[in-house]
Amino acid sequence: MSKTSHSTAPTSQSDAAAERASPPIDHGFLLRPVAVEFHRLWQKSNASGQPRPDIFAFVRSQNEITGPQCRDVCLVDQFHRWKSEMGLPAETYCRLLRNFCGDKSQDLELELVLHELSLRRAAAASPEAISVDDFCARFPGFRPHLLRCFADADLEATRALDQTRPPDEMSQTFSVAATQPRTGVVPQIDLDATTLEMSEVDDGSSLTLVSDHFQHNASSLLGNCGPFSKLPPILLQEIESNLENVVYEPGEYLTREGDPGDGLFVIQSGEVEIRARSESGEPRVLATSGSGEILGEMALLTEAPRTADLIAVGSVSVKFLPVAVFENLAGKYPVISRVLTQLLAERLGQRGHDALAGKTLDRFRIVRRLGKGGMAIVYAAEHLDTELPVALKMMSHRLVYDLNALKLFQREARIIEGFDHPNIVRMLGRFKAFRSFFIVMEYCDGTPLDKVVRKSGPLSAEQFCLVFRQLCDALAYAHDQNVVHRDIKPSNVMLTEEGTVKLMDFGLANPLDTNDESQSGVIAGTPRYMAPEQLRGDDVDTRADLFSLGCTAWKLLTGSDLVTQRSLVGIEKCHTNWQVPTFKNVPGNVATFLQTCLTFDREDREVDLRSFPG
């Protein structure tokens, strides 16, 4: 093995003749009420360490916001995010603008593109490293404007928003907009993926976070690696300048199972075989990794020993990031750790080999993965002493830096810790391990109701009543404990082989008797199953669960979603024109019960869950 330090930054593709340009950005937006309100949310977040304001939820919370007002809010968000090294690409803001302006947004979009250009050049140690070619490739429609800006003038430094003083008439206290936990680099709403559910199969209805990639120089090794491509190019340059070149001979070990984690590998060329030992001690090949792939992040982030042997297949060249260098960079730029924990989250809980399979954590031996959602992974495990089968719910590593997500996870544990009901999954304990948090729950050998319907079709009236009566009893018990579930849907209800219903996943549950300001205005849940007031971000009570319960009933009885729209705007329109559906093939008193659950105004949702008539 030969190991040499390498300390060169990637070459820039910028036009040698490109000079600094001055985008025509009107800073008068700093005195406009909507922008000032959003700016103050950022100030509050920066001062208190609370989650960053969610621009998407904020814009939705504004009544009849105009395109220019939306542009103003985007400019504020751009400034704060690039200042905190969590910059979003201008494409994200442009998509948001199009929702309000359609084809009329082009001039406003240009401002956002030029604003990103200004911010990135202001942050760059070498402004000429910002490539005109990159921007023209990203925004071909703005190519003449971009070339003119690069060629003709200087970019002005962006005005510091924290020095802004709005006029006296705007000095009143502004309301705090709806917020959501945000992790990673680029938040965006996508209703075709799952983030807040534990079910194996996505029902296509939950809110999730989508990451858009930055455009990176083709010569950047890290810029073409999945997780690193989410980092700004300027930051990648610093990371790459600290990487070491390492060459391994055929058959040479990069690491051995059980070794301490001393760094991270990015494969430049060649192949690396990943081997681990089975329970009998026999080595087995788990996978083969090639050029551009990352290895070793698990030991780096979790401080756990290496979980596998890495062996060179032929000659292998890698870039190596030592742990000491990683810790120094992560200390300066926490976003690096966040991106790598997302990679770790993707690798844990995968369908094939899981790095935790067979491992023992706090006297529990992990057997296999049961399900994976956006917030957690669920494993089947057994207690070493009693051999009792259990389910271990592990908080996803991608949320390890999200204080709000941690708060939700721990709150779920506190809620179900005190529950004792035959139709609610019981909690058996909790512990911290593997740089994450675990909830120990009873193991339920069964099938989620969404899978039951998908496999066998709608339930008969008799089957439905047997199942639904148990679900109503479970929900009534939770409500008696002053807890709103907030995510009632078929995938969160398990049906065991014995026909017992188990209500699961209290990850979004909210106690009614607490004054948690951080949850005020939070939109959380599965949109297609949300009550209208829940989707608006209003404070919710137990009556929101009743609406979700009615939507669940419709799915069980028909096999289809009651709300079929695939966008938030579409769902909101559906609620605006809401008509209570007619239930067929069930007794009349059951139909009346379900229709009452589905009334638009929550004041009219008056039902006694324990008196379900079926």
How high does pLDDT run on average in the chain?
75
pLDDT greater at residue 6 or residue 516: 516
Which of 170, 190, 223 terminates a domain? The answer is 170
- Which DSSP string do the residues of 182-213 spell out, in sequence order? --SS---B-TTS-SS---SS--S----B--PP
Window from 16-20, 114-118, 497-501, 525-529 with minimum mean pLDDT: 16-20
402 lies in the same domain as 522: no
Of 542, 554, 562, 546, residue with least CA distance to 591: 554
Question: In whole angstroms, what is the distance from residue 69 CA to residue 504 CA?
Answer: 42
Write down the pLDDT at residue 494.
93
435 lies in the same domain as 470: no
Q: Which CATH number do you get for residue 365?
A: 3.30.200.20
476 lies in the same domain as 599: yes
Write down the pLDDT at residue 495.
93
Backbone angles phi, psi at 496, to 5 degrees: -80, 170
Which of 137, 170, 203 terminates a domain? The answer is 170
Is residue 502 assigned to a domain?
yes
411 lies in the same domain as 268: no
Q: CB under 8 Å to 245, separation ≥6 — which residues?
A: 3, 4, 5, 6, 317, 318, 319, 320
**At residue 20, does pLDDT exceed 80?**
no
Q: How far is CA 275 from CA 256, 263, 294, in A?
A: 9, 18, 16
463 lies in the same domain as 591: yes
pLDDT tens for 406-450 read: 777 888 888 888 899 999 999 888 888 877 888 898 988 889 999
453 lies in the same domain as 598: yes
Is residue 403 assigned to a domain?
yes
Q: Which residue type is seen at 244?
A: E
Give the mean model confidence (pLDDT) for residues 205-223.
56
Is residue 179 assigned to a domain?
no
62: burial class by Cβ within 10 Å (0-12, 13-18, 19+)? middle
454 lies in the same domain as 315: no
**At residue 183, does pLDDT exceed 80?**
no
Write down the pLDDT at residue 595.
94
pLDDT tens for 35-65 read: 878 888 888 888 777 778 888 888 888 877 8
Burial of 289-318, coded b for 16+ CB within 10 Å and e otherwise, reads beeebbbbbbbbbbebebbbbbbbeeebeb
Q: How confident is the model at residue 244 (pLDDT cuts 50, 70, 90)?
A: very high
Is residue 417 assigned to a domain?
yes
Q: How many domains does the chain have?
A: 4
Q: Which CATH number do you get for residue 293?
A: 2.60.120.10
Write down the pLDDT at residue 94.
87
| pTM of full prediction above 0.95 | no
Which of 108, 139, 170 terminates a domain? The answer is 170
Is residue 390 assigned to a domain?
yes
Structure tokens, 565: 């729209």
Write down the pLDDT at residue 64.
76
422 lies in the same domain as 506: no
pLDDT tens for 581-593 read: 999 888 999 999 9
Structure tokens, 259: 């070794």
Domain of residue 486 covers 447-611
Contact 453, 490 (CB under 8 A): yes
327 lies in the same domain as 296: yes
74 lies in the same domain as 94: yes
Question: In whole angstroms, what is the distance from residue 554 CA to residue 563 CA?
Answer: 10
Contact 606, 546 (CB under 8 A): no
Radius of gyration of the chain (CA): 27
pLDDT tens for 258-286 read: 888 888 899 999 999 998 876 667 778 88
Structure tokens, 543: 């009556």
Structure tokens, 230: 């989410």
Give the mean model confidence (pLDDT) for residues 546-559.
94
Give the mean model confidence (pLDDT) for residues 280-309.
80
509 lies in the same domain as 598: yes
